[in-house]
Structure 1
Amino acid sequence: MSTMRAMRRLKPEPVPRELIERLIQAASWAPSGGNSQTARYIVVDDRTQIARIAPLWRRAQRFYLTAQADACPPTMSPKQFQRTMAAGEYLADHFEDVPALIVVCCDVSSMMHRWLANTGSVARAFGGLGIRRAVTGGANFGKFARLSIAASVYPAVQNLLLAARQSGLGASLTTTHLLFERELKDILDLPRNVRTFAFVPIGYPLGRFGPVNRAPVEHFLQWNHWQQRPN
């Protein structure tokens, strides 16, 4: 975990399908809400498909890089930030050479169907809250449902990234494709009810794995309640 850097400079060397299947197996071991196991993975290793996706990716990535150009976080030096931005630019410029892409999806209709199929139980649960809390819970139910779906997908993505690191593969979790998700779904023939949550370019890294750049634990940790801290 301490050396699992986002690797955006990748060799064009193909990744064996058997190895990618092992990564998906590792992803499938992640927990999901109610053990629903709803995450799905589309692996794109066909050069024609990758070439079709490339213009969409470059457009989304260039937007992101431009929008973030002056947004160096306090946890990075300007030099470190520029290296990160340059790596993103490299991936955009060499996207057609990426050996494989893993698009992590979820059929959101199947998740919502579970709730709709149990409307009686849901109604009783709300009734048990009392009127005031039922109103509050109802107002937040949509947020709860959306984040519950995401919480059943992103642990699998982390498993996938860790398995890639253990296998000597470079990878990075990206979501900028969501700016133009409809176009990606058209290329991949994804139906309306399937949403994409992560887009993972993967391959053998050109650079070296190394210690991740993170602030000390005190920067992240608070006990028992939120404490306002100076920047």
Structure 2
Amino acid sequence: MDAETVLTTTRSVRRKLDFDRDVPQDVLDGCLRIAQQAPAAGSMAAQFRWLLVRDAATKAAIAAYNRETAEASWAKYGHLVEARALASAQHFVRNLERVPVLAIPCMIGRPPADAFTQSAYFGSAYPAIWSFQLALRDRGLGSSICGYHLQDHEADVAALLGIPDDVMQISLLAVAYTTQRDFRPATRPALADITYFDAWERTGSLG
């Protein structure tokens, strides 16, 4: 699969995850090795960790924490979300424990308070997360970020998994093979509507 196809067809897969097909560790290892090559600020690459969860009971507990916060959020804000998107999210979260692997990217050290250092902190994590997702896509797997538990239950999941207090869970990714191979580029705003030149809302030519 060429780079442009991978970059333009890596979707947040919620309805097309194969809950019954195992994900071999050597496949994950290959994706994680690619993720390690993502750009990071200074020494922060050495602070990044992955925690992979396969145990059924542990996945069920993590899924329950995510559902609790998600259901409360949907009850309050669900009417603001497009019906199809809401249904997709609900299907995903309500079946989260069935996903073969939950991958939790973590950073040693809690996030800093100032915007500049936060940029380096999270900016050193998400390129690796995205590289991991792209590598999965190239191998016929899908992924979707599901971090509801971080709002109310980060400490509960940390206790469940033995994560130290000074380690931040950046996110949580559900990982599985997909039930279809082909995905299309999504509809996005026109570049002319989102690109400014030299000053905010100053439009110009993209040609």
- TM-score above 0.5: yes
- Aligned residue in 2 for 1:216: 190
Which residue matches 2:3? none
Higher relative contact order (CA 8 A, sep 6+): 1
Residues 67/14 of structure 1: CA separation in 2 closer, same or farther (3 Å cut) = farther
Instruction: Go from structure 1 to structure 2 and tell me whether the alpha carbon gap of 1:53 and 1:82 turns closer, same or farther (over 3 Å shift).
Output: same
Which residue does the alignment assign to 2:62?
53
Contact 1:61 1:88 in 2 (8 A): no
Q: 2:132, 2:125 → 1: CA distance?
A: 11
CA displacement at 1:228 relative to structure 2: 7.4
Query: How many angstroms does 1:63 deviate by?
Result: 2.9
Residue type at the aligned position of 1:168:
G
Q: Does 1:20 align with 2:28?
A: yes
Deviation of the 1:98 alpha carbon: 0.6
Identity of aligned residues (%): 25
> Deviation at 1:202?
0.8
* 2:161 equivalent to 1:188: yes
What is the aligned-residue RMSD (CA, Å)?
2.1
Cα distance in 2 for residues equivalent to 1:154 and 1:64: 24
- For residues 1-231 of structure 1, the aligned pairs below 5 Å read 1-9=7-15, 10-12=17-19, 13-37=21-45, 38-72=47-81, 81-108=82-109, 142-179=114-151, 180-206=153-179, 209-227=183-201
- Bigger radius of gyration among the two: 1
State the one-letter code of the partner of 1:176.
Y
SS in 2 for 1:192: coil
SS of match in other structure, 2:165: coil
Conserved? CA contact 2:66–2:147, under 8 Å = no
Q: Deviations over 1:174-230 (max 9, x none)?
A: 33221121111111110000001111001012355222221121222111110179x
User: Runs of 4+ in structure 1 displaced over 6 angstroms?
Assistant: none
Secondary structure, in 3 states, of the residue corresponding to 2:50?
Answer: strand
TM-score, scaled relative to structure 1 = 0.76
Give the structure-2-normalised TM-score. 0.84
> Gapped runs of 5+ residues in structure 1?
73-80, 113-140
Bigger mean CA deviation after superposition, 213-222 or 194-203? 213-222
